[in-house]
Amino acid sequence: MDEFRKTDISPDEIKSVLEVLDPDGERPRNVITTSGLNLRFGDQQILSGVNMDFPRGTITALIGPTGSGKSTFLRTLNRMNDKVRGFRHEGDVALEGRSIWSSDQDLLDLRRRVGMLFQRPNPFPMSIKDNVVAGAKAHGIAKGKQLDVVAETRLREVGLWDAVKDRLNDSPYRLSGGQQQLLCLARALAVGPEVLLLDEPTSALDPLSTESVERLLRELTPALTLIVVTHNLGQARRVSDNTMFFYEGKLVEHGATNDLFNQPRETNTARYVNGLMG
Amino acid sequence: MTIVTQSYPKTSWRRFKASAFRVMTLLALLFVVGPALWLVLGVVVRAVPNWKWSVLTTLSQGTSGGLENAVVGTLVIMVGVLLVAGSVGVLTGIHLAELAPARKNGKAGGGLFRLAVDVLAGFPSIVLGYAGYVALCVALHWGFSLLPAILILSLMVVPYIAKSTESALRQVPTAYREGAEALGMTAGYSLRKVVLKSALPGIVTGLLIALAVAGGETAPLLYTAGATNSLPSWSLVHHPISYLTYYVWTDYNQPSAQAHVVSYDAALILVVLVLTLLVVSRLVVARTQRHSESFR
Ligand SMILES: Nc1ncnc2c1ncn2[C@@H]1O[C@H](COP(=O)(O)OP(=O)(O)OP(=O)(O)O)[C@@H](O)[C@H]1O
Ligand SMILES: [Mg+2]
């Protein structure tokens, strides 16, 4: 112990070594934290008192019966609800410790860092390549020849490159539904997000496409943090580390996916995960 | 639960209703297509036998001579209307659809603007023409000339363009807008790169109808453009400018066969002009829409 103390490594050097070993060391462990979050549309209370942490590099599944507020919660996290009529929120959502509603949080940058994939594939009416790079272009992340590189990298990342490399200038609507969803994923990845919000991303897809999307989601962690709404309990079990169960305007229970499915603490959770509800 | 099978209408009755509906839609179509064909054919049949290409290269001499000045004049006026009414109309439409803040009850905002647009659309063109004559030609001392003609025709067609732009924008799927928003695009960027693109066919169609109307309009031009036998000069004011509908109208009322030939020639040229406009715009739209959802 004494010898260790005698070494003359400066604190700065230690810090830089630690930085290499663990680049995330200085950053908060939880990418997103919600505290006392109440969400309302007009007079209707949708969710109340949601306290939740989303640890970096994990997949969290949001489950619950229809109308329980899963989408509303998800869309709050990148402020997609802000413009919706009657939407009110109390409490806070913090992205790496800073409120997403704070005045020094740039909305466009928030959306770049917290990306979103929708239930129905929604490619833009432009070529396949232009779709992938649309966001990257908008944020000035790449231009000119770099865009080709971005397009190829992201299409490879989602496993779509071989299928589309000869038709990059073709319309995206000639792709299958599953391929369109992968294209939208590539588009979301191209702006370099830290968090991806996915609202029932596979509900419009067949089992095979679903499987490839699920595999992809696993591969995206731990580089990304994912939050996935799903009605498919099998999917929640297969892909997620943690699960949140919403019911009747409340976050009823949350925890490690295995625990929540195998030893639910609440009777409603037990009923839901065993298919006895809804 | 009892299933009341006998309350279903008989198949034959449903068949009858379906075919009656079909017949009605076909009749309506005939009502539109019939006169259109009849008009175009009427013009073609009367104009083509006496057609000489020299009309396009000879200046008019009162009720005889060619139509070169009128063709060029109409084209200049149409380009002017495209620029003035096109930009004003499209911008108004964008404002109504995208920027006017929604009202408290969620209905579309911009009510006053919309009312103004509707009022303008309801004005008889001859009244607009007369107002233009009084305000622009006389009060501003512009005389019969190009600028008042363009301004009055533009005022007349701006409502069409604004309306069609607005409804084209409203039909753009929410999924595009949300997709763009979720990527962190600004509202303006997403409007330019995503939304306008998919609204383009509707906008172009509106522009086109507006241009065709402007090209075929007579009443406001009688009050503002004047008439001349010479080619348009480069000046916007103080110089009258000629246009095709003038010759269609005045020469047809002349008691000479020579004048009637010119009148039919002018009509034919207008028809061809409008049809060309239609075809070109369809090509442009097809080219820009090759990545759209409906064009697979
Ligand atoms: N824009 C809105 N205005 C008013 N009420 C809304 C709005 N959007 C959603 N709601 C209401 O909020 C509640 C929660 O809706 P939400 O879409 O979050 O449910 P969900 O859990 O995602 O359901 P599903 O599983 O069917 O997608 C519902 O009662 C819904 O009617
Ligand atoms: Mg939902």
Q: Which of A40, A50, A70 to mutate to test the pocket of ligand 1 (most atoms within 8 A of CB)?
A: A70
The whole-model pTM stands at 0.79
Q: What's the confidence (pLDDT) of residue A124? A: 93
Single out the residue of A8, A118, A167 nearest to residue B181, CA to CA.
A118
The reply to whether B12 falls in a domain is: no
How far is ligand 2, taken at its centre, from the CA of residue A5, in Å? 57
For the segment A42-47, the average pLDDT, to the nearest whole number, is: 90
Domain with B232 in it: 57-295
At A265, list the tokens. Answer: 């603490």
Cβ of A124 and B289 within 8 Å? Answer: no
Q: Which of A38, A39, A46, A116 to mutate to test the pocket of ligand 1 (most atoms within 8 A of CB)?
A: A46
Single out the residue of A9, A76, A71, A84 nearest to residue A42, CA to CA.
A84
* Domains along the sequence of chain A with CATH: 2-273 (3.40.50.300)
Averaged confidence pLDDT in chain A: 88
> Is A276 a pocket residue for ligand 1 (Cβ < 6 Å)?
no
Inter-residue contact A91 to A34 (CB < 8 Å):
yes
What CATH number is associated with residue B79? 1.10.3720.10
- Measure the CA angle with vertex B20, ends B18 and B23; round to 5°: 110
Residue of B291, B293, B294, B295 to mutate for A, most A C-beta atoms under 10 A: B291
Q: What's the confidence (pLDDT) of residue B94? A: 92
Does A143 touch chain B if contact means CB atoms closer than 8 Å? no
- Residues in CB range of B78: below 8 A, 6 or more apart: B211, B214, B215
Helix (H) or strand (E) holding B147: helix B146-170
Min distance A84 CA to chain B CA atoms (Å) = 10
Chains A–B, number of C-beta pairs less than 8 Å apart: 81
CA closest to A174 among chain B residues: B296
**Ordered per-residue pLDDT tens for chain B, 296 residues:** 556 556 677 788 888 888 999 999 999 999 989 988 998 898 888 888 888 887 777 777 777 777 888 888 888 889 999 999 999 999 999 988 888 776 666 666 667 777 888 888 888 888 888 888 888 887 788 877 888 888 989 988 998 899 899 989 998 888 999 999 999 999 889 999 999 988 888 898 888 888 888 888 777 877 777 777 777 777 777 888 888 888 788 888 877 877 788 888 888 888 898 888 888 888 877 777 777 777 65
Rounded Cα–Cα distance for residues A188 and B183 (Å):
7
Q: What is the separation, in whole angstroms, between the first and last Cα of chain B?
A: 46
Domain count, chain B: 1
pLDDT in tens, B158-203: 988 998 999 899 988 889 999 999 999 998 899 999 999 888 888 9
| B151-to-A21, B3, B79 alpha-carbon distances in Å | 71, 66, 12
DSSP sequence for A102-145: STTS-HHHHHHHEEEE-SS----SS-HHHHHHHHHHHTTS--TH
DSSP sequence for B43-57: HHHHHGGG--GGGGT
Q: Please compute Rg for chain A using Cα positions.
A: 21
For the segment A91-99, the average pLDDT, to the nearest whole number, is: 90
3-state class (DSSP) for residue A35: strand
Residue that is written with structure tokens 């090209």 in the block: B215
At B237, list the tokens. Answer: 């004011």
> Is A46 a pocket residue for ligand 1 (Cβ < 6 Å)?
yes
Interface pTM, i.e. ipTM? 0.83
Between residues A180 and B70, the one the model is more confident about: A180
Q: Following CA atoms A165, A166, A169, A172 in sequence, which dihedral angle do they give, to the nearest 10 degrees?
A: -70
The reply to whether B65 falls in a domain is: yes
For residue A244, name the pLDDT band (cuts at 50, 70, 90).
very high
Cβ of A134 and B194 within 8 Å? Answer: yes
At B91, list the tokens. Answer: 């911008």
Q: What's the confidence (pLDDT) of residue A1? A: 45
The amino acid occupying position B292 is S
Atom 30 of ligand 1: nearest residue by CA position: A67
Length of chain A: 278
